[in-house]
Amino acid sequence: MSRLPFELLLALRYLRPKRTFVSVITLISVLGVTLGVAVLIIVISVMSGFDRKMRDSIIGFNPHLRILPRDETLKDYAAVARTVAAHPQVKAVAPYIEGPVLVQTEPAHGQARIGTPYLRGILPQIETNLNVLPHRIIEGEFDVGDRGLLIGSAFAYNMQLAVGDRVEIGSPSMLARWRESSRKEQASAPILPEYEVRGIFDVGYNEYNLSVIIASLADAQDLYDLPDSVHGLVVMLHDPDQAPAVEPELAAALGPRYLLRSWLEENATLLNALLVEKNVMFYLLFFIMIVAALCILSALITFVVQKTREIGMLKALGATDAQVSLIFLSQAALVGALGDLAGYGLGMLALHYRNEFLHFMNRLTGFELFPASIYGFTELPALIFPHDILLICGSAWFICLLGGVIPAWRAGRLQPVEALRYE
């Protein structure tokens, strides 16, 4: 004899396929839960992958903290850097200059192209401790000395630039000098300095590859007429997630003259948008499992009507209301569990072959379903968190269980006299 409770034994027996209308509805319910769980796992994992990929791209190319003077450029940056470097969480600190510039190509043939990227002035000797840029050079070399320039792969493509090409760069300060020279008679207009493209980088995020170019700090100071000052300091931490905690501590140490901004604050709009999209997708797709729960509700109500005589016999033999209700609750729980297991397996399989499926659909449809120019990534990212899986599977099972409450309650309240009156 089986050691299972008789409620569970009867539930398993009633769930056996018998080619009836109720069996078809039960199968549809299992498929509904399977699809709902699988789709939710796929979508939430892909959204989590987007979030992690975006965070890695941001903190890999940008500082964890940025220190800016409140009123003017930073002149005593060496002393401020020593104060910041004394904090135990600080990994590296360096001065920087960053701002918009005008870039004009010098092609041997054809028309010159003009772009308006942001130029970032760096100290190449400590850049390795600051970000991933030195390791992401795909053409040329990491060299910004003597008016050398590093450009992103997307910017190089749009401007038709290659390693060794020369460009002219104009800054806002040069435009101001042009304006002054135009007001003076017989004054010569300033000449735009020339820079040589020494390397092309790909940091893994299309926005940075398109809109940022890199020069040395000294060249950036010349462009912005800042011979002895910089725009601010960039700070890299051992743990970027500690930026909100380190920020007030450094602010207290530096005083009110300086403004500190963390990478979370600078990218709050983008990160919050990803979080909202992930939550909205979860709630929208969760309705698939609610539909499956309604199928379970319909199937069990029909089943209770069909099994009225058996319920009356069980009650006459001494089964309590709770035991009868548990039979039908067990059916709903088993349907939910089967759907959870099948949905989990289908979701994991789809995530494993997600990029192969994406490439197949690209070839089949003839156009790119996941364009890097829009999303910034060449592959479909995915990140599986155990707590997300538990939340999805647990919620689906609980919804299925709720779908069986009303039929189970109705079956438990059925009286033997009423059930057997016409037998």
Asked whether residue 1 is assigned to any structural domain, the reply reads no
Q: What is the pLDDT of residue 6?
A: 57
- Give the separation between CA 19 and CA 39, rounded to whole angstroms: 28
Q: What is the pLDDT of residue 3?
A: 65
* pLDDT the model gives residue 1: 42
pLDDT value, residue 344: 94
Residue 21: the pLDDT is 54
| Last residue in a domain, options 263, 289, 323 | 263
Is the Cβ–Cβ distance between 149 and 168 less than 8 Å?
no
Examine the pLDDT at 172 and tell me if it is beyond 90.
Answer: no
* Two structure tokens written together for 159: 């401007």
Q: Are residues 36 and 101 in the same domain?
A: no
For the cut 90, the answer to whether the pLDDT of residue 156 exceeds it is yes
Assessment of whether the complete model's pTM goes beyond 0.85 = no
Q: 293 falls in which pLDDT band (50, 70, 90)?
A: confident
What local confidence, expressed as pLDDT, does residue 197 receive?
94
**pLDDT of res. 149:** 94
CB atoms under 10 Å from CB of 304, counted, come to 21
Residues in the chain: 423
Last residue of a domain, one of 237, 263, 289: 263
Look up residue 322 and give its two tokens: 């709770």
Q: Any residues with CB less than 8 A from the CB of 4 and at least 6 apart, and which?
A: 12
Give 318's DSSP letter: T
Regarding predicted confidence, which is higher, 46 or 286? 46
CA distance 413 to 364: 57
Whether residues 117 and 74 fall in one domain: yes
Q: What is the pLDDT of residues 10-40, one digit of tens each?
A: 666 666 655 555 567 777 778 888 888 898 8
- For residue 349, the model assigns a pLDDT of 93
| DSSP strands (E only) in 1-42 | none
Please check the confidence at residue 422 and state whether its pLDDT lies above 70.
no
The winner for highest mean pLDDT among 284-288, 305-309, 346-350 is: 346-350
pLDDT for residue 378: 66
Tell me which residue range forms the domain holding 47.
6-55+271-419
Angle between helices 21-61 and 321-352 (to 10 degrees): 50
pLDDT in tens, 108-133: 777 888 899 999 999 888 887 778 88
Domain count, the chain: 2
Q: Which of 263, 282, 311 is the last residue of a domain?
A: 263
pLDDT score, position 412? 76
Task: Flag whether pLDDT at 99 surpasses 80.
Answer: yes
